[in-house]
Amino acid sequence: MAPIAKRSLSFAIAVATPERITKKPRAREEWRSLSVPPVELNLALTLLTGQTFLWKQTSPGVFTGALGPHLVSLRQTPQDTLYRVHTEFPGAKEALREFFTLDTSLATLWSSFSAADERFAAVAPYIQGARVLRQDPVECVFQFICSSNNHIQRITKMVDFLATQGSPLGCVDGQSFFQFPSLEQLSFLTEKQLRDAGFGYRAKYIVGAVETLRSKESGGDEWLKSLREGSLEQATAALCTLPGIGPKVAACVSLFSLDKHDAIPVDTHVWQIAVQYLKPELAGQRLTSKMHSAVAQAFVSRFGAYAGWAHAVLFIAELSSHQKLLPSHLHTQRRPRTSKNSKRNEDVVSL
Ligand SMILES: Nc1nc2[nH]c(O)nc2c(=O)[nH]1
């Protein structure tokens, strides 16, 4: 049987029995404490603002996603974050603590960011609990290859398609979840299948990146994980050898999966922040790769070794979807719409 057909069969079995997961919770499906207050972790601001496209809001206030073999749901109370595990494997709490980098204190970081920067100090109280994730690097690479020159809705659709190549983990409130596919599972996808699924020119990049990663002597998974050890420059150079990865995508992967806390993904939003608040002399210039470095450097000069974490807050404050969180005097002045930027201004997260 062809690998795709085999996978589809196991998926059919998993979705045929959703009540296995949605009916009365078993003991292991009880809500448990993650011991982190909303000021240190805001689920919506962390999971639904462009760092990952794999987590879903499965019911009001409940977010569900896969962490390796664990399928977990999360919700907040006024004092805590609660988690519920739908799968059998041990270690879900540890996986969650790692994914949300909970050993890093937002309070400590943010007090130094607020002292360094007026805009950060002004918007941070309205965006409390926005953290930077530590994702699996393979998952992160493929999500951000899909993200290039794209908007959230379409990226999510593409990433959901990739996810269906992995092992089914179950169904929560009518939504199916899969363990993110291994490189081997991804290798069964053809460029044609991806094009037919709406990936456009990115279809070639996905197939090429899978091939390149699978050719690494240590295995693509280990090769990517090894980039956690070196510098940001080394990680950027290595990532940019993969098809479909340029400086912006490399910075997203470095920040959201490789422990490079000073990585700054420079897109139109970040460019606007730099021009308005950090380096006004950039106004009127074009965003070239030299400018990318200048903008990233401006963030690091202002915010230090965790500049990427400060960027995450300023980036959210820039999104049109999140302006409503801010009082009107803190709203960003929008560029006038033109036929070229009308869609992009609103919801493109990655250029
Ligand atoms: N500068 C940023 N660009 C992004 N694209 C994306 O998908 N997420 C981000 C982000 O957090 N910052």
Question: pLDDT by residue (tens digit) across 317-337?
Answer: 999 999 999 999 999 876 655
Residues 41, 45: Cα–Cα separation, whole Å: 8
Nearest-CA residue for ligand 1 atom 2 is 265
Query: Cβ neighbours of residue 16 under 8 Å, at least 6 residues apart?
Result: none
Any ligand 1 atom below 6 A from CB of 50: yes
Neighbours of 189 (CB within 10 A): 21
Instruction: Measure 60 CA to ligand 1 centroid, in angstroms.
Output: 25
From atom 7 of ligand 1, which residue's Cα is the shortest distance away? Answer: 50
248 in catalytic set: yes
Confidence of residue 171 (pLDDT cuts 50, 70, 90): very high
Cα 173 to the center of its chain, rounded Å: 23
What average pLDDT does this structure show over 7-17?
Answer: 36
The pLDDT of residue 336 is 55
Ligand 1 pocket test: which of 315, 316, 351 has the largest number of ligand atoms within 8 Å of its C-beta?
315
Q: What is the mean pLDDT of residues 94-100?
A: 98
Which of 267, 271, 273, 287 for a ligand 1 pocket mutation test, highest count of atoms within 8 Å of Cβ? 267
Interval 132-142: pLDDT, tens: 999 999 999 99
Looking at residue 19, its pLDDT comes to 37
Q: Does the structure's ipTM exceed the value 0.90?
A: yes
The reply to whether ligand 1 has any atom less than 6 angstroms from the CB of 150 is: no
Helix axes 307-318, 289-303, angle to 10 degrees: 110
The response to whether residue 147 sits with its C-beta less than 6 Å from ligand 1 reads yes
* Calpha distance 202→199 (Å, rounded): 5
249 CA to centre of ligand 1 in angstroms:
9
Q: Considering the chain, what percentage of its residues have pLDDT values greater than 90?
A: 84
> Between 351 and 165, where is the model more confident?
165
Q: Residue 338 pLDDT > 80, yes or no? A: no
Q: Where are the domains of the chain?
A: 32-127+135-325
Is the model's pLDDT at 20 over the cut of 60?
no
Residue 312 CB less than 6 A away from ligand 1: yes
Strand partners, 33: 82
Q: Is 236 in the pocket of ligand 1 (CB under 6 A)?
A: no
Q: Is 256 in the pocket of ligand 1 (CB under 6 A)?
A: no
Choose the weakest-confidence range: 10-24, 155-169, 268-282: 10-24
* Token pair of 135 as six digits: 């994702």
Query: Measured in angstroms, how far is the CA atom of residue 144 from the centroid of ligand 1?
Result: 9
Question: For residue 89, what are the contacts with CB-CB under 8 A and spacing of at least 6?
Answer: 68, 69, 70
- Reduced to 3 states (helix: H, G, I; strand: E, B; else coil), residue 259 is coil
Element (H, E) at 140: helix 137-147
Stretch 74-85: mean pLDDT, rounded?
98
d(CA 35, CA 29): 17
- Dihedral angle sign, alpha carbons of residues 256, 261, 263, 264: positive
Of 144, 115, 88, 183, residue with least CA distance to 265: 144
Q: What is the pLDDT of residues 217-260, one digit of tens each?
A: 999 999 999 999 999 999 999 999 999 999 999 999 999 999 99
How many CB atoms are located within 10 Å of the residue 333 CB? 7
**Of residues 56, 248, 260, 279, which has the active-site annotation?**
248
Fold of 32-127+135-325: Endonuclease III; domain 1 (1.10.340)
Ligand 1 atom at minimal distance to the Cα of residue 264: 1
